[in-house]
A and B are shown apart, each in its own frame.
Chain A
């Protein structure tokens, strides 16, 4: 006989209760969730009811990093009308609840948290993070053929959420990850999950063991060594010869955080702002200096750099792969540069 299931922090939300849940949450803060944009494109946007939400979606065009590190973020306002300039730091950080974040994107947020928590800390980022409530959503099957989440182990939840939803057909089983999540669940008097619900969850997870397979056929732990050996690989020449340096791959990447700082001056020529904007290591001038030297002039060197930042440098520095397996870079690339193919080719050289 099976012993009683002792997992306690699981609750149940019936699917027909989701609308009430979203509306309730929207009273407290802005709620953002994946919304269908047509042509199999999805985007995180503000929603006011469950009907707005695409519960089944392939990774959104932009990852949820846009809420943590906005594409354009004002850092300070300044006034130079007097002799001495005056400035004030921008302290805006909206309270947001993200609903329906897939496990790949939860991993992406965890990576960004590591980067911006490393000293010297970036408090502008950390303050936004504090104000964002995260509700994850499990993928019971692959979203499409471009994902490589099983390679990096991101097809299962590995934390990084306040609440985590798994679809059990007519209901969601909700795992509580944090105190904040616990408070919300309590305030809504969400029912506790029964042993039947928990075994249904186990079934989903069991199914995933066979549904998801390491897409490259190489252990993720072996990749840093493969990269270290592959610095001069012909793979980079091939990828570089196709790349058009558009920067799409880095913009859509949930863990690309390189940025530029720029000033904007208003038409009065007296006031303005300093802004942080997303930048891309794929742009020709990214590693150029004023004297004319460019330290990453070739596209192949820039593409190699991007891959190294996902599979080698990040592992050395943060002990984890910064590729979350979401597949966005492959989906968005107009030159058809395919992450799975690149990794497979690189790994094949080392066999």
Chain B
């Protein structure tokens, strides 16, 4: 059984940071190349990032699998490991396990309209799907992207967002909770953007990723638009420590006993609506 142990999901693949950029005061972006080939993930999956001697944390992959050769992470300095990670830069090595988790149901979404709702750092996991859709644009119907952040300076992927705004095949709108002097866009909660979107409930998937507090209100708005519960896709946040449905940390208080790392992190609202907390 020694070979199985060496090649198990505990094996750390070596990844080298090939580019890094401080995006906001709290978020840093990393482009990582694995020494032994592609990550080969799907949109919505996550990896465990190991900083040798410090530990490990689960981070969503924010790049699309259509981008080959390397993958990207956007890391908020929120915990012990992520704070350390902000001190890393180009040339530094990390350990990578994964990809883990159930991806967004891309096949089911094909041919349908898509409504993306991202709050704050929720744009990171959602970007893996948005960019996948952009790279396969003709496979999908109407695409709406709604983005909410605290202030204009908290906005992530500004360059890419500018591109999305220019595209004719994407409807993009953005709002901030608190405005700044040079901000010309919407001010208010992300829920305020939903009534303005035209939704065909028969062929639309709403994909919602954001902080736990956001889900309740956004889902209520989507249900008002008659979007069926099984067409509302969420990505839930928990502290996955193993990625294999064993360590117990990410189990959701739900009658179905879901492990966020294995049964999720993506779920339909129908699947998780009985959860104590989303």
On chain B, the residues within 8 Å of A213 by CB distance are none
Is A257 part of the contact surface with B, judged by Cβ < 8 Å? yes
User: For the complex, is B150 an interface residue (Cβ under 8 Å from A)?
Assistant: no
Residues of A within 8 A of B252 (CB): 295
Q: Are B237 and A289 touching (Cβ within 8 A)? A: yes
Assuming A76-B12, A259-B247, A305-B253, is B211 touching A291 (CB within 8 A)?
yes
Write the nearest CB–CB distance from B54 to chain A, whole angstroms: 6
A261 close to B242 (CB less than 8 A): yes
Q: Which residues from 123 to 158 on chain A have a C-beta closer than 8 Å to any C-beta of chain B? A: 123-124, 126-127, 130
In the bound complex, CA of A87 to CA of B56 (Å): 15
- Cβ A313 vs Cβ B257 within 8 A: yes
A260 touches B247 (CB 8 A): yes
Which residue on A lies nearest to B2, using beta carbons? A91
A317 and B256 alpha carbons, distance in the complex (Å): 9
Closest to A281 in B: B248
Mask, A91-125, CB within 8 Å of B = 1, is 10000000000000000000000011010111110
Q: Mark B1-40, 1 if CB is under 8 A from A, else 0.
A: 1101110111110101000000000000000000100000
**B57 contact set on A, CB distance < 8 A:** 290
A258-B248, A305-B253 as given contacts; A263 in contact with B10, CB under 8 Å? no
A116 — which chain B residues lie within 8 A by C-beta?
246
On whether the beta carbons of B10 and A89 are closer than 8 Å, the reply is: yes
In angstroms, Cα B107 to Cα A184, docked, is 56
Is there an interface contact between A289 and B8, defined as CB atoms closer than 8 Å?
no
Whether A261 and B56, one on each chain, are in contact in the complex, defined by CB atoms closer than 8 angstroms, is yes
Q: Does A335 contact B (CB under 8 A)?
A: no
B14/A84 in contact, CB under 8 A: yes
Of A84, A120, A228, A263, the residue contacting B8 (CB under 8 A) is A120
A120 near B9: Cβ-Cβ < 8 Å: yes
Q: CB distance B238 to A289 under 8 Å? A: yes
Decide: A115 and B8 in contact? CB cutoff 8 A: no
Residues 254-267 of B, flagged 1 when their CB comes within 8 A of A and 0 if not, give: 01110000000000
B95 on the A face (CB < 8 A) = yes
Query: Does A287 touch B at the CB level, under 8 Å?
Result: yes
A290 x B247 contact (CB < 8 A): no
Q: Is the CB of B8 within 8 A of A290?
A: no
Taking residues whose C-beta sits less than 8 angstroms from the other chain, chain A's interface range is 35 or more
A290 touches B78 (CB 8 A): yes
Expressed in whole angstroms, the Cα–Cα distance for A257 and B247 within the complex equals 7
With contacts A75-B10, A91-B5, A289-B239 taken as known, whether A295 is within 8 angstroms of B253 at the C-beta atoms is yes
Determine which of B8, B51, B54, B247 lies in contact with A279 in the assembled complex, contact meaning CB atoms within 8 Å: B247
Residues of chain B from 204 to 249 with CB closer than 8 A to chain A in the complex: 211-212, 237-239, 241-242, 244-249
Interface size of B by CB at 8 A reads 49
Indicate which residue in A123, A261, A288, A290 contacts B5 across the interface (CB closer than 8 Å): A123
The smallest C-beta distance from B92 to any residue of chain A, in angstroms, reads 9
Report Cα–Cα, A290/B211, bound state, in Å.
12
When the two chains form their complex, are residues A120 and B237 in contact, meaning their CB atoms are under 8 A apart? Answer: no
- Which residues 298-336 of A have a CB within 8 angstroms of B? 301, 305, 313, 316-317
- Asked if A127 contacts B5 (CB within 8 A), the reply is yes
Whether B5 contacts A272 by the Cβ 8 Å rule is: no
Q: Annotate A276-300 by CB proximity to B: 1 below 8 A, 0 otherwise.
A: 0001010000111111110110000
Task: Answer yes or no: B55 CB below 8 A from chain A CBs.
Answer: yes
CB distance from B14 to the nearest CB of A (A): 6
Contacts of A120 in B (CB 8 A): 8-9, 244
- Is A293 within 8 A of B212, CB to CB? yes
B10 close to A272 (CB less than 8 A): no
B132: interface (CB < 8 Å): no
CB under 8 Å from chain A, chain B span 170-223: 211-212
- State A256–B65 Cα separation when bound (angstroms): 37
B241 touches A263 (CB 8 A): no
The residue in chain A whose Cβ has the minimal distance to the Cβ of B9 is A120
Our pick among B14, B82, B248, B256 for the contact of A85 (Cβ within 8 Å) is B14
Inter-subunit contact B247/A301 (CB<8 Å): no
The 3 closest A-B pairs by CB, nearest first: A258-B248, A290-B79, A290-B78
List 8 extra interface pairs beyond A116-B246, A279-B248, CB under 8 A.
Answer: A78-B53, A120-B9, A126-B1, A261-B241, A263-B55, A288-B239, A293-B211, A295-B276
17 A-B pairs, CB-CB below 8 angstroms? A75-B10, A80-B52, A85-B93, A115-B246, A116-B246, A121-B4, A121-B8, A126-B1, A228-B255, A258-B249, A263-B53, A264-B53, A289-B237, A291-B76, A295-B238, A295-B277, A317-B257
